């Protein structure tokens, strides 16, 4: 564990991508506290990965300040989910140029 000098301000470490146990150790070593509103059992969480944090990494905060981390993107944020394939759109005007001109579908050709 790395000890930081006892300065009144510390920089927030990058916690996104770390497992919960590593995020706690990193925060403690840097002199900040962690809170996780989506995990009431945060102190026992081990292998979940941090997906978001506030304040952002590199921000200067007072020693002992609370950094909030989230482990789940939630319904409003999206996530992996199921993605349907999106075919590429035809070039602008290309489809219109290939279609026949509109007319009477029952016109007798003679």
11 beta partners: 60
Provide the 3-class DSSP secondary structure of residue 5.
Answer: coil
> Do residues 52 and 70 touch, judged by C-beta distance below 8 A?
yes
**Centroid of chain to Cα 21:** 19
> Do residues 51 and 71 touch, judged by C-beta distance below 8 A?
yes
Which tokens hold the place of 87? 């075919």
Pairing of strands 33-35, 66-70: parallel
pLDDT of residue 25 exceeding 60: yes
Q: What is the mean pLDDT of residues 30-54?
A: 89
**pLDDT score recorded for residue 29:** 94
Mean of pLDDT over the chain: 78
**pLDDT score recorded for residue 71:** 86
| b/e map 62-73, b = 16+ CB within 10 Å | eeeeebebbbee
pLDDT band for position 8 (cuts 50, 70, 90): confident
Q: What percent of the chain has pLDDT over 90?
A: 45
Predicted confidence (pLDDT) per residue in 46-91, tens digit: 888 999 999 999 999 999 999 999 987 555 445 555 556 666 665 5
């Amino acid at each position: 564990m790395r000890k930081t000098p006892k300065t009144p301000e510390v920089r927030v470490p990058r916690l996104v991508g770390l497992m919960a146990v590593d995020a706690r150790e990193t925060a403690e070593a840097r002199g900040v506290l962690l809170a996780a509103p989506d995990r009431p059992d945060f102190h026992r969480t081990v292998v979940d990965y941090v997906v978001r944090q506030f304040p952002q990494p590199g921000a200067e905060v007072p020693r002992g300040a609370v950094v909030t981390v989230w482990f789940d993107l939630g319904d409003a944020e999206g996530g992996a989910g199921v993605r349907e394939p999106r075919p590429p759109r035809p070039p602008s005007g290309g489809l219109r140029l290939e279609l026949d001109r509109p007319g009477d579908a029952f016109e007798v050709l003679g």
